[in-house]
Amino acid sequence: MKLSQEEMKKYYTNNKPMIWQYKTLYQIKYSQNTGFGLLKVYKKPKTDYLGITVKGRYQAMTVKNANSYIK
């Protein structure tokens, strides 16, 4: 997944710092030195056959909404 600095800033400032891409959850982080970046925080197990999004797509959401998909 490739997000621009502007896209990450928009999600971060709109209180949507969590990104689900298929079965992987990322958190948008900010550093003065490097700018915005993504940190992988969770991956659904292989036994869970359903992803949160369609492969190749992503969805930005709040922390509360993102955590609701974790069992």
- In contact, 67 and 27? CB cutoff 8 Å: no
pLDDT of residue 29: 97
Residue 1 predicted with pLDDT over 90: no
pLDDT at position 26 is 98
Note whether 55 and 46 are within 8 A (CB). Answer: no
Cβ atoms 57, 20 nearer than 8 A:
no
Structure tokens at 23: 């079965």
Can you give the pLDDT at residue 14? 97
Q: Where are the domains of the chain?
A: 5-67
- 9-57 per-position pLDDT tens digit: 999 999 999 999 999 999 999 999 999 999 999 999 989 889 999 999 9
What's the pLDDT score for residue 5? 97
